[in-house]
Amino acid sequence: MVQRVTVPSLFTPPLYSHASVVEAGTKLAFLAGSVPLDAKGNIVGEADPVRQAEQVLANLDEQLRAVGSDMAHVVSTDVYVVGSEPAVLSAVWEVVEASGLSVGPHSSTLIGVACLGYTGQLVEITATAVVPEPETDRV
């Protein structure tokens, strides 16, 4: 269903692939940016990008389940982190790696930005995922 490609002539990326190819006819979900808000709309992990990344991933997992998919079917992400220090971006990426998103591995871009949409927000992740066909009972 999904072919993940690491291009031999390019630098081998750590735990992600250069491209994910999905055969035509596969159902895809294009998810809005997952943000570090709780169910009441409050920022979780204020001033803590690692805690915010954990909340963002928990929310992303909810988004995926709502459309019939899961972390293992994510083919592409963009990970936005407020900051320009590689150590901060790396700390967030470690949370992403531990989440199950790197199963495959998937294609991803890690981006340092000046600000995000909510006051105090430090992390956001957008994703594209395959929505697998429901398995039917076979007799």
74's CB contacts (< 8 A; 6+ apart) are 64, 101, 104, 106, 127, 128, 129
The pLDDT confidence band at residue 120, using thresholds 50, 70 and 90, is very high
Report pLDDT for 100: 81
What mean pLDDT comes out for the span 98-117?
A: 87
**Does the structure show a pLDDT above 80 at 135?**
no
Residue carrying the six token digits 């039917």 = 136
- Name the DSSP letter for residue 43: B
**Does the structure show a pLDDT above 70 at 111?**
yes
Report pLDDT for 5: 80
Give the count of beta carbons closer than 10 Å to the beta carbon of residue 72: 15
Mean pLDDT of the chain: 89
Query: Cα separation of 71 and 64, whole Å?
Result: 7
Buried-state track 10-40, b at ≥16 Cβ within 10 A, e below 16: eeeeeebbeebebeeeeeebebebbbbbeee
Q: What is the pTM of this model?
A: 0.85
Coil, strand or helix: which one is 32? strand
Report pLDDT for 139: 55
Helices marked H in the chain: 49-66, 86-98
Q: Which residue has better confidence, 92 or 19?
A: 92
What mean pLDDT comes out for the span 86-112?
A: 89
